[in-house]
Structures are given as C-alpha cells and as structure tokens.
Chains A and B, each alone.
Chain A
Amino acid sequence: MLLNVDNITVHYSRLPALRGVSVTVDEGEIVCIVGPNGAGKSTTLLSISGVLNPTEGVITFDGMTINGMSPEAVARAGISQVPEGRHVFTSLNVEENLRIGTSIRKDRSEIEKDFKRVLDIFPVLAERRKQPAGKLSGGEQQMLVIGRALLTNPRIMTIDEPSLGLAPNLVDRVYETLLDLRRERGLTLLIVEQSSERALQAADRLYVLRSGEMQLEGNAADLRDGEKVRQAYFGFEEGAVHEDEVAF
C-alpha cells in the first residue's frame, strides 16, 4: 500500500468535515473519490497534503506517518497535489510556474530532461512559455498545473476536480493525458470528482464520499452499472433532492 488514509477525522469548526474516513491507494493504481458538493473530498486531499491536520486517525505514505508534516515536507516525500481551482501563479509566466515544481529537486540534469518531457506532453505550454500564466485558458491552465505537479517528480499525484469548468472535449484530453502518464511512467493517481462518469471509466477503484463519511468502496469494474453508486451518492432520499446537480 503506497498511501493509507486510516480513519481520519478532520475539523474546520466544531462539527467535523470528515468522520472516520479511510482511503488506500496502491502503487500504480488510479483511485477515484466521488461525492456531492460539500462531501469532504477537498478536505481529504488537503489533509493528505499536510494543509489540514486530522484530529484523529493516521495517514501513512510508503510506511511513513505523514499527518502533522508540513505541506512542503509532504511534497518532498513524493505526494504532489493539483488542488481544486488549479491555483496557477498568474503573475508568473508559464515557465516560471513549471520551475516552481522543481523547487524540491537538486538533480539538475534530470530536471532539465523532465522539463523538456513536460513540454513534449503539453506542446501548448512550450508555445506559451514566456506568457503570464493568468492569460492561459482554463484547459491550458489545467495542463500547466498537471505539468507543474509532475515536475516535483511525485510518486503519487492527487487531483481535485480536474474537469471543473472545462468543456467535455477538454475533460477527455485531461483524462487521456493522465492515463498516458500512468501507462508511461507508472504514475499513481488519486482523483477527486463530483460527477462519476468519466472517473468511473478511468479508475481502478472508486470511493463514494457523502457528508464527511465514506459510503462505498469498490472496484470500478464492479460498479459500472451505477445503481449502487447512485444510492451511496444520494443516500436514502435518493434522486429527487440532488438529481439536477450531477449527471450520471
């Protein structure tokens, strides 16, 4: 097990945003967490990245306990997050954004190779190398932050809602790229999405999170027909309440 989130509880205020949530990710896997808005998906990823501190439970990465570590230490350990809303540095140009990804690395020659590789994967970034990142379109910014996270040379990449605000064809491009990365460099991925269709196709395993609690876990293949997922996603007062929010 590469990443083991074991029974964590996380508070923003008095009420917990996560209650006893567990997630595991094996080396080379693509794991997806889906759940409605406010379920606690981002909270889970931010806890893994050391931005939030669980009040209970442990998070281990490759056997090492990482909860309580600083975000930069977690990044150094090999977990790179592409957070919700992408967070490009808009006042830095494309190249500088990518260079920030290499902050933790010392292997100069390897960095340059990886840098070229990222520009090969995302040719549009090469074209716009010297442009302010704020000027890029949403799809290009998504490519940029994935490229930036790749440059930390992570063992696992966590991505929070990569399809947010992107046109369907761009969403497909993003997922193709992610699948390529897994195939070509064995990248392990933990992806968070609100709607599960695209995620179900890409994932090996799926978790459904709702109201801060894990509702369902299973092999994506077993969950393809969607009925169980729908139940877990909406809870008992199914359908009517949120049907419009999410497209299955």
Chain B
Amino acid sequence: MDYAIQTAISALSFGSFYALGALGIGLLFSILRLINFAHGDFITVGGFALIVPSSAVVATLSIGGFHPALLAICIVALVVVLALISYFLVFQHVQNSSPATMMIVSFALGYTLQNVIIMIYGGRPKAVNIFSELTGRVQLSDGVSVQILQLVIIAVTWILLIALVLFLKRTRVGIQMRAAAEDFRMARMLGVNGKNVIALAFILSGGLAGIMSLLFVTQTGVLTFRMGVPIMLFFFIATVIGGMGSLVGAVVGGYAVGIVSVVLSAILPEQLRGFRDACVFILVIVVLLARPQGLVLTKAAKERV
C-alpha cells in the first residue's frame, strides 16, 4: 500500500512534468501548426543560463546563485526572450509554409542552440545544484516518504494549469487566443492582431519552458547540451496521444505518458525495466492505431478528416 502511494505520487509528478511540456508544444501548435522541436532545447538553454559561461569542468553559478525568487524570474524571463527571438528571427519567416517545413526549421533551430551551447560551455556534463532543499524527502505517514520536489512539481503544474484556464476563459486576450487557435483567418478578419497572438503563444510556451528548466535541473542536478532532446520526445508523444491542437489533450496526453512510464517501471520485472521506454512506445503505437486523432478530438482536427 505504501509503495502504491509512493508510486502514485511519483506517477503524478512525472505526468505533471510531461503535461507542462506537452502544453508548451500544444500552445504553439494550436495557433501556428508548428511542432516546435526546439522546445526541449529552450529548456536546456534555461538550465545553462544558471551558470557562468565557460568550458571549465566545474560549473560556477551565475544566475543560479541568486536569491531563489530572483533566480526563477530571471531564468523564466530569459527563456521567454529566447522564444520571442526565435519567433521574430526564425519562425515568423516560415509561418505560411507547411507544417512539415516549420517542423524541420524547428529541428535546425534546436541543433543550432545545442551547438551554441557546446561552443560556449563545452560538451561535457556539468553538475549544478539549485533549490537543493527540494531534493530532500518528507515523511507523509509512517511508511510513506516522497521527494519534496515531486510535490512541488505537481503543485506548480496545477497552479499553472488553473492560471492558464483563467487566462484563456476570462481575459479578452485569452478569448482572442482561443478564437485564433480555432480559426486564425477569421479571427484576423475580425481585427484580432495575428502577430500579437502568435507572439503571446511564444511567450507562454517559453515561460513554461523556463519553469521546466528550473524543475528539471533541480531534479537531475546535471547540465548536458542534449538534455532537452529525450524529454522533448516524450512531450511530443504526449501531444500526439492527447490529440494535436487540443490543450486539454496535451495535458491528458502528458499525464497518460508520465503515469504509464512510472507504472511500467513499478510493475515490469527486473530484466525488462531497461526496455521501459520501448514498452511506452509500443503502447503509443497501439493507442494511435485505435485512435489516430488522439484521445481528445478538436474541431480543427475533425475538419481535417
């Protein structure tokens, strides 16, 4: 029973992390039809921004040494700026191209960011400790102890989800974003400023990536130039499973992937654990065979059928 509770919290925490990632992808896709494979690398850049740029083996904290609140604000702001720059410098110029073209451009951007990191910081992994208090454990009851960070990830995710829902439902700009996501051309014909809406989607997506940089680096304690790539793969899978273009779908997909991964780790026999990701991918294929449109169907997706 205790083990089950611990596993459940761990599953929710993984699911939350993937849901945040999938949401970052989904926000851009819903408006721009862009699958931004550089999203994972945005997270990486946010991590490296914590330390002094140098190829030295031992990392020295820069922003990472700030007061926690200031640290968080700086990293999030930096990644937001990075996302905005990539819109104005890169994606803006291909936004009328096919989704495939935009996706390839995002790969190129991602590789560019990775190589810039190698140039500045070198290719070796670096140890970084931030928010180290959070990696400790709390005793929930007699037999149950969980990592504080897992609870923080779950809480942060739900705070962000609620904030995002309120923003999209209650504010003028949020309603404009939903309209643009459903029918971009119509929204523009009614005077909604297309460029502003897209820029805002990049800001929100970048903000999520920045927050994820903090959570991820706190969790792993290591920076590597490719660290965004494998998680990006899971975010992408989560958005596909949830149904491209639906934000609810992105969250559902994120939780599905996170929970399945953790549960598989818990129940797979010892010898098979190394193949956990393979098992996840097999499940993904099965889901997509049964529901090619993903779990949550959007109007836009229905129209394309």
Contact = CB atoms under 8 A, between A and B. Distances in A.
Contacts of B190: 75, 80, 100-101, 103-104, 148-149, 152
A75 B189 contact: yes
A51 B184 CA distance: 11
Interface in B139-172: 172
Given A87-B183, A89-B183, A99-B172, A71 B188 contact: yes
Contacts of B188: 51, 70-72, 75
Give the one of B178, B187, B188 with max A CB within 10 A. Answer: B188
Interface stretch (A90-98, A120-128, A203-211, A220-228): A90-98
B175 A70 contact: no
A91 B299 contact: yes
B189 A76 contact: no
A51 B182 contact: no
A101 to B, nearest CB: 6
B192 A100 contact: yes
Contacts of B192: 72, 100, 103
A139 B299 CA distance: 20
B185 interface: yes
A149 B193 CA distance: 16
Given A100-B175, A100-B176, A103-B176, A89 B193 contact: no
B191 A87 contact: no
B contact patch SS: helix
B186 interface: yes
Nearest to B299: A90
Nearest to B174: A96
A142 interface: no
Nearest to A77: B191
Contacts of B187: 89, 100
Contacts of B194: 70-72
Nearest to A49: B189
Interface residues on B, range: 10 to 19
Nearest to A99: B175
A99 B176 CA distance: 9
B179 A89 contact: yes
A20 interface: no
A68 interface: no
Interface string B278-305: 0000000000000000000001000000
Given A72-B194, A104-B191, A87 B178 contact: no
B82 to A, nearest CB: 26
Nearest to B298: A91
A103 B191 contact: yes
A28 to B, nearest CB: 23
Nearest to A81: B189
Contact of B191 (A51, A90, A92, A152): A152
B178 A91 contact: yes
A75 B189 CA distance: 6
Nearest to B178: A92
Given A90-B182, A92-B179, A99-B172, A75 B299 contact: no
Contact of B179 (A76, A81, A100): A100
Contacts of B189: 49, 51, 71-72, 74-75, 80-81, 83
Interface in A96-152: 96-97, 99-101, 103-104, 134, 148-149, 152
Give the one of A74, A75, A99, A104 with max B CB within 10 A. Answer: A75
Nearest to A79: B189
Contacts of A101: 190-191
A243 to B, nearest CB: 33
Given A51-B185, A83-B186, A100-B192, 13 more contacts: A51-B188, A72-B189, A72-B191, A75-B188, A75-B190, A87-B186, A92-B179, A100-B190, A101-B191, A103-B190, A103-B193, A134-B299, A149-B190
Listed from nearest, the 7 A-B pairs whose CB atoms lie closest are: A104-B191, A75-B191, A71-B188, A87-B186, A103-B191, A89-B179, A71-B189
Interface of A: 49, 51, 70-72, 74-76, 80-81, 83, 87, 89-92, 96-97, 99-101, 103-104, 134, 148-149, 152
Interface of B: 172, 175-176, 178-179, 182-183, 185-194, 299
6 contacts: A72-B189, A72-B194, A75-B190, A91-B182, A96-B179, A100-B179
